[in-house]
Amino acid sequence: MRRSLAGPRRPGRRRTGPQATTLRRVSIVRLDTGKGRAGEPASGEASEVEFVDGLRRRSAEALEKAYDFLRAQDDAWAMLRAEVLCEGRPGSDLTAALAAVQESEGGLPIGTLVSGGGLGFPMIAMDALDAKQASIVGTLEGLLLAGDAKVLHGEWVERAAHFLETIQDADGAFRIPTTGGEAETVKADIFWTGMMGGILGRTPVARPSLLEAAGDFIGERFDPERVEQDGYSALIAYSHFFTNVAHDLSDEALQWCGRALEKGFRSRQQDAVATIRVLLTCDAQAMPGATFDVAELLSQILEEQAGDGGFAELSLGGPACRTTQTFDAMLGIVRLCAALEV
């Protein structure tokens, strides 16, 4: 059975006690059990309906637990994203929150996506960043939040894109200092440039000159070995950029990225949440070179949920460093449930 995966408050860290969710399970995941269809299904179809219905119900329960986990944390950005995802608040609330914290030059301050355990990000000494570097991190965070919620539009996005044009390095890169030697620095430069170029490529306001310069930088440093050996950071950055920015290397690069993504999932070098995060970041249902079974990927995500409702249970930083991956899992569950077919 193969299913191809073709005016709010300014959020930040806050403390709230555990509270029961106000969202009913059926409002979190709309169940389609097959009832009300014309005619009676054959025995195989009935079994299929029962399987999908059960998977959706498990998903709804997992979402409720993850939602309650986020309510118990200090991460108001993650909570706002979860509320928007579960239709407890409109997407315009997230847009307004991002616009409210935007700085006069167009950049955004650092939020909680990285500190909450965002996947792929190189090691950063946050306290050592200068104003330009902090704005790169914060603006990328804000744009990624908007991308997940599909609200990459509005005046604040245009102002952010124009701001980034002014701080892009002459060679097309976006740079944040990282720990380690030259090799780690190159990896970090590829990550920040690929991620920034990829998310700007999803907007209608990024100037071609910015994307072309970033493409020159990324293209000169693309090598299949980086995708296969440099790890998740390179994989998500290359995937994001070449999915959303037209480039001569796009077809070839995405084939390598797709194969590496599926290989990493099959070999368990990366878990299901990390796998779906790549597709979510790319805003893609599929990737060349990779084939995923929707039910298999969804089932594996559900298996990765911890007893407290969160994800990334083995994170050394505790619950505060698990909020981003918990939201990633929630978003993945919702998108995969939408892709389930009987």
Residue 19 lies in a domain: no
Q: How many structural domains does the chain have?
A: 1
Judge contact between 297 and 275, C-beta under 8 A: yes
CATH at 162: 1.50.10
Residue 307 lies in a domain: yes
Q: Which tokens in the block code for residue 16? A: 């709230």
Residue 196 lies in a domain: yes
Q: Which tokens in the block code for residue 133? A: 């570097």
Residue 23 lies in a domain: no
Using DSSP, state whether 70 is helix, strand or coil: helix
Judge contact between 67 and 79, C-beta under 8 A: no
Question: Which DSSP helix (H) or strand (E) runs through 262?
Answer: helix 250-266
Q: Which tokens in the block code for residue 266? A: 């099959």
Q: Which tokens in the block code for residue 40? A: 């009676």
Residue 301 lies in a domain: yes
* Residue 45 banded pLDDT, cuts 50, 70, 90: low
Give one DSSP letter per residue of 145-167, joined into a string. HHHHTT---SHHHHHHHHHHHHH
Residue 95 domain boundaries: 45-339
Say how far apart CA 290 and CA 255 lie, in whole Å: 8
Lowest mean pLDDT among 30-44, 119-133, 226-240, 295-309: 30-44
Give tens-digit pLDDT for 225-264. 999 887 899 999 999 999 999 999 999 999 999 999 999 9
Long-range pairs, 264-271, Cβ under 8 A, ≥24: 264/232, 264/235, 265/292, 265/297, 270/232, 271/300, 271/304
Residue 37 lies in a domain: no
Which residues have a Cβ under 8 Å from the Cβ of 216 and sit 6 or more positions away? 171, 172
What is residue 255's predicted lDDT score, i.e. its pLDDT?
95
Judge contact between 298 and 56, C-beta under 8 A: no
Judge contact between 49 and 41, C-beta under 8 A: yes
What is residue 341's predicted lDDT score, i.e. its pLDDT?
73
Using DSSP, state whether 243 is helix, strand or coil: helix
For residues 77-103, one letter each, b for 16 or more C-beta atoms within 10 angstroms of the residue's C-beta and e for the rest, the string is bbbbbbbbbbebbeeebbbbbbbebbb
Residue spans of alpha helices (H) in 39-154: 43-71, 76-85, 91-101, 131-148
Cα 297 from chain centre: 16
What is residue 18's predicted lDDT score, i.e. its pLDDT?
36
Give tens-digit pLDDT for 183-211. 899 999 999 999 999 999 999 999 999 99
Residue 11 lies in a domain: no
Residue 29 lies in a domain: no
